[in-house]
Structure 1
């Protein structure tokens, strides 16, 4: 049965409670931290010498699509009526958005140590202890807008810049690719300062705290952010129907470090080409 992922701004209070309850139940089972560990393991940068899959590579889109599906299925084993909502950060741009409400994801971190003090994922509530990638303590941290080095959420124009590119990806298939929707929406550029970060990356920077780095899954907003990224890939395909939905399609010279469309993608050993469409599983409202 095809289910629907909704805009978080359209969720009812009851729907928010069900989503939060399922996430907390997954945390109690110890399964949530397994997702954090997986993301840490497969976050491989350009200069690491390994094989990038989750980031800085063409598989950024299909890898996170499968990652989201695995998380969503885990939630649905707890509550079959739950799906992962999406956060359109070009519209809901305020620290006071309902997204950050007491009954949903909680708000910003306090100034002294960035510790989140409100909502169901605040450490003080006793239900959300950071166990993977612990750097500053066991509590969830955020720092909206990075006041020490101010940054804003991406604008509609910045997103449109990425969506206009009719090529999915290009050589050298990493964070330095100057052409391609994938790298532009992921947000790696040759700029300086905060100007280096666009779209996906800029959202991580704006939230700050645990959303910085490989262990960003520790903040549940990660899933709403990547649900929107997944939606953007669908929209891009509709806008460019004559373009290849994933490149490189097959292994060729210069693609040794990346997974091609017809190759198994770890850790699930599914081909990126099998994840291009999602209409038989879910749709977006």
Structure 2
């Protein structure tokens, strides 16, 4: 498949139909149809050339190499303030791109909260190398197709950690305490710390900002981050980004911070986000 790359994805990816709200689901709770649809969307997205802004390689390249648009891990507190809005816009357009290929797909989240009674790690959907009698699982590994090739560029994604790590996974009590934090910037920075720890614990490609987004589990990880922000918004209302941030652009997405603040307007929601309900993660 081929297409014309543009500065932002909005020229080729339509907005969701007005009034349509789709529910993002835990990767551990996907039924077979939902899992098959998501795998098929990723498989098709991976067929586009790296320069085509409808494809997996293009989206992965906006986070690190070659686009380098990621708004956090920069050497200023100003940049870190946009960690949550930038990634919400990123996931929004990524999910729209998948829905352009498989209509009913939604982006699942990976709940990496540590439960000592039931320790889990990467969901099975992302952790099996093959499916359907030996076919490659598109959620397990993807090539890294940056052209021209960069020094040290891996040929494909890899992961180094194969099991749960209670040293870095927050417990439910820690997550609850984080959600109770009333200051947006404190909440964002603490959530970013958990985010960084999970990236490091997965290891391999996920531990390198240049290549992390080429691993499909990256998107499930960041959807969990977005879910926690959505839960925080439900609890704290308007106590989010300050007015001076609202008009700031989030390149290359063609959105401002203000346009990321209502997931309903963006056409998606998370089940049971206003309160913690056992069994809904």
The normalised TM-score by structure 2 is 0.72
2:182 to 150, 161, 166: 166
Change in Cα spacing, 1:236 to 1:211, as seen in structure 2 (3 Å) is same
Q: Please give the alpha-carbon distance, in whole angstroms, between the structure 2 residues aligned to 1:269 and 1:2.
A: 21
Change in Cα spacing, 1:93 to 1:273, as seen in structure 2 (3 Å) is farther
Aligned partner of residue 247 in structure 2, secondary structure: coil
CA contact (8 A) 1:72 1:83 kept: yes
Structure 2: runs of 5+ lacking an equivalent = 1-19, 50-54, 130-135, 272-281
The within-5 A match list for 1:130-141 is 130-132=144-146, 135=152, 137-141=154-158
Q: Please give the alpha-carbon distance, in whole angstroms, between the structure 2 residues aligned to 1:137 and 1:235.
A: 36
Q: Please give the alpha-carbon distance, in whole angstroms, between the structure 1 residues aligned to 2:126 and 2:162.
A: 17
Q: Please give the alpha-carbon distance, in whole angstroms, between the structure 1 residues aligned to 2:56 and 2:100.
A: 13
The within-5 A match list for 1:125-204 is 128-132=142-146, 135=152, 137-144=154-161, 151-169=167-185, 180-187=186-193, 199-204=194-199
- Structure 2 counterpart of 1:208: 203
The within-5 A match list for 1:70-149 is 70-90=93-113, 93-95=119-121, 99-100=123-124, 104-107=125-128, 119-121=137-139, 128-132=142-146, 135=152, 137-144=154-161
Q: Please give the alpha-carbon distance, in whole angstroms, between the structure 2 residues aligned to 1:231 and 1:150.
A: 21
| Cα RMSD after superposing both structures | 2.9
Q: Please give the alpha-carbon distance, in whole angstroms, between the structure 1 residues aligned to 2:192 and 2:85.
A: 13
Give, in angstroms, the shift of residue 221 of structure 1. Answer: 0.7
CA contact (8 A) 1:146 1:206 kept: no
The normalised TM-score by structure 1 is 0.72
Change in Cα spacing, 1:136 to 1:235, as seen in structure 2 (3 Å) is same
Aligned pairs, how many?
230
Structure 1: runs of 5+ lacking an equivalent = 109-117, 170-179, 188-198, 251-259
Q: Please give the alpha-carbon distance, in whole angstroms, between the structure 2 residues aligned to 1:239 and 1:84.
A: 23
CA contact (8 A) 2:23 2:106 kept: yes
Change in Cα spacing, 1:224 to 1:93, as seen in structure 2 (3 Å) is farther
Change in Cα spacing, 1:151 to 1:138, as seen in structure 2 (3 Å) is farther
Give, in angstroms, the shift of residue 51 of structure 1. Answer: 7.2
Is residue 45 from structure 1 mapped to residue 66 from structure 2 by the alignment?
Answer: no
Q: Please give the alpha-carbon distance, in whole angstroms, between the structure 1 residues aligned to 2:180 and 2:57.
A: 37
CA contact (8 A) 1:145 1:206 kept: no
Q: Please give the alpha-carbon distance, in whole angstroms, between the structure 1 residues aligned to 2:201 and 2:162.
A: 5
Q: Please give the alpha-carbon distance, in whole angstroms, between the structure 2 residues aligned to 1:165 and 1:207.
A: 27
- Structure 1 counterpart of 2:83: 60
